[in-house]
Structure 1
Amino acid sequence: MSEAIMRDMYQKPSDVTTAIIEQFDESDYFRYKARIKPPIDGTCVWFLGVPEFVQWLESQSSSLLWISGDPGCGKTTLATFLLDSIDRLQSQDLSLYGTDYLTTYFFFDWSTEDQVDGTALLFALIHQLLQADPALAPIAEKHVHRLNLENLCDIFEAIVSAPERKHQRIVCVLDALDALDECEAVSMTKAITFLASLIPRVGWLKLAVTSHRNQHLDKVFSNLPAHHQIHLTDHAEHIRQDIEKFIRARCVQVLEIMDCHDDMRRDIEEELIKRSDNTFLWVNMVLEQLKNNPHAWLEFFVPTLRSTDKLDGLYNSTFERSKAPGALLRTLSIIAASQRPLTLDEIDDALAVQPDDRSIRQVLERSCVDITEYLDDVCGPFIRIRDGEVSFRHKTATEFLLRSADVPRPPVGNGMYQYKGCLDVVGVNKCLAEICAVYLTLDGAVSDSSSSGRRAGIHVTDFDDEGFDNEDYPTVEENSGPTCRKSGRGAGLFDYAAKYWGTHYRLGYASSSASTGSRGNHTIFDKAIALCNTSTCTFHDWFQLYWNTISTIPEYPDNLAPLMIASHMGLLDLVRELLADGKGQNKQSNHLQVADSEGWTALHWAVWNGHGIKNDETIALLLQHHHDRSKDSIYNKPHDNDCHCNESTEDQQSFPAGSSTYVLDIKDNKGLTPLHWAAADDQTGVVQLLLKAGATVDVFDGQGMTALTVAYENGFIGTFEALLEYGADVNVPYPGP
């Protein structure tokens, strides 16, 4: 590489340029790659000679390489090897590569919050491109006002298509495209489809991806003219040789701990090689068990080694050997349900919570002396602890444990492993929902980060589990003075519980029927009612933390009502309860016309769900309630003969009995109706629900925008077409900038 290029690469960018680049630093992609263990010497080298790989890299045009293989066959290690190998060859200045290329990468990881979807992928790729060539930052600056997936795609394409780009050749390696849940997979598929679509349109972009065999990716890639594919199963002999080298190297490291004599080491090596089933993962997990518990190897390790050569068998044997299977199931349920990896402190608290706890002191008394040792002892090969966070060691653990709620557990004795599918998705979420709800209502369980001057202004009493004033217990003011601050320890599980209790409740108790849902579990239902009571300090403590995850505005609106919170979070049985009649002082606030200080009604809150989870059932429930009561005069629609509504927002901010303002067309302080919100969020299904229920199709907001113009401005074709089907006026004047 020439001195001029080196000087350009390391020229310090301006503060403005640095600020632009930092906006794309949303993923810790570099640290994640750095902690992946390098391959054992002499392994993976064979891949550089595979004809499909050579053709992919040597061709003078853009092309894609798809590397597919079974779980645990070393795809992630291979991806790091490719990156390092290409960089090493480049440093040797081989004619194949020249001096104008750049390697970029991203490793999807289902257990790491910032490594899971298509948005994170594009943030990482753009950040790498801009760091390598800061002069391209002005291209990105044009789009930074809205960094959603669509705009990130535009930014990436603009950068790789820029004629002034310093590195004319880009190699992009993406690993583990299948390590995602359903919601994240949609985002990932959109991003990968976009990247694949660039292949015919840009000069020299080499895209390499690794995954399991995947029908979705097959559909995405099959139409590409320049598409190379390598099935690692076709190279089983090379992988077998790599695994043998891996076993011999790792056995030397692990068996040194045991001071094992050479004959025993060789016997163990040969047994591992014989039973490896062409997977690094099984071997690594068996050796990790031995490393973590070397003194018990005669009792546990040798029987495990001889009894199973499959991952499912290894997982099942952990249950069979467990001295506390109940504790193991509870721990794995919590880990399986968690929306992000839990810290050691968080899982320690979660394991200690019991349904009838009232104080954080009760939880602390049950905490483990050494939670790391406890988890290693109880969970064995299922988990890994890294950087103080707990997650499953591999996706295969989740696949072994979890089944869908509608899939019955296989009976014992039919050839299946006894513990396979022992947990269901609904059950684990019920478990963690109850833990979170109980924890949030404990005396003393409050996060310091949730306190604010606003909290000091709350002069109300807290409520017991039923949501009513409780004369048998002191009020928060009596306990803590005018600041309403509970005494006790710091965050513990509070941060996680505040941000995700509603998600677990919804996933555990979601039901579109009028059944009791969580009513059968009085603990969780009563706690949920109490948590939605917006007049308490407990509500402020958890909701402020939750609010910080869904909004950039520092403080949430005033005058919130329980129905707004339950509707927003999609808690169907709570919404039914609140709509039925409400309780105590909440009763008057549970009407669909009631608005908070921003003018948002329960319907606004339901449409804006905050985390991108579809909330159609809750919205349908609110609309059905409105329909059932539509004979009441206060629900009469005022615009029956006029599809254009431009009523001032100020006229709608209070709704006394007898008001004729139509519920579905209530505007917030910016003149936005729920239909505007649904259109702005591209919720085609919600748009159709609102219009079918009778919402006015053309209502002008404070800037003269209708839902149709909002959808048009954002390029939401499906929503745009749905609005047209219901008679939206295409001739409405489009407000200028």
Structure 2
Amino acid sequence: MTCCVYVKARSKHSVTDRPSEPGQKTCTLVSPPAWVPWSLIRTISAIRSFPHDNVEDLIRKGADVNRMHGTLKPLHCACMVAEADCVELLLEKGAEVNALDGYNRTALHYAAEKDESCVELLLEYGALPNALDGNKDTPLHWAAFKDNPECVRALLESGACPNARDYNNDTPLSWAAMKGNLESVKVLLDYGALVHVTNLKGQTPISRLVALLARGLGTEQEEECLELLCRAAGRFEIRKADGTLPRELSKDPQLLARLTDMVAHAPTLRSLARCAVRQSLGVQFFPDAVKELPLPETIKDYLLLRE
């Protein structure tokens, strides 16, 4: 009797030539069919279109869960399509959770853009929340940019740095602000994201958002986002370090007049005190920290930017 055992595609095992006794059960080691490794990532990519294709069956036939296919690995692909069940299966079968793809991105970078469940699974299996891709972007940068507040929260709860800097010195808050992503901005501010940070071009999260508004792309959400950032900042400048105004503001005289009026008035002592207290709290979940302070509830709400 003979049974056939598949091994991973990179194995060099061949059929055993050791003679066997009559009637003895022997096992033959063979490589999986050539189509199996490549079929795995194609199946994952189309898993929602062809749900009956069985990823587990392909793995059982010898597909390598850690094999690079072009620029991607199966785990990265599963996160791109936000298929949590497939992500869990790949991790259970030995997929390397912090492996890099062709762009030096981890699976967590892709999951952060898409799906909280995938993010939580990866973190549970040891994904690094502050992993850097080729541009020094963290998963938190991408979650903030895509306005996925639940992913932002999950990453921050697992130790992601709210003030991580990318190659341009932009923080996740800056990425969220440039898109007017209100919900992500709220979560980041709750975890101690700094408002007074500048990138290599001298831009702050507020000036990033102002540029969006100046292009006429703002809605009520972006306006609310600007008000929130201004409260968190206490005071801010609209002029760049060299004293000039951002070029975008010349396109919107009304916005320029409104911002000029805002910065012309000295900030109140109360707003400056709020900014100082928030900075003194450092990086932590502000709602919990403020709750423990011996202060009236109205002042606690004020510190948490609830006006």
TM-score (norm: length of structure 2): 0.47
Query: Which protein is bigger by CA-based radius of gyration?
Result: 1
- Larger RCO, structures 1/2 (Cα 8 Å, 6+ apart): 2
More helix per residue: 1
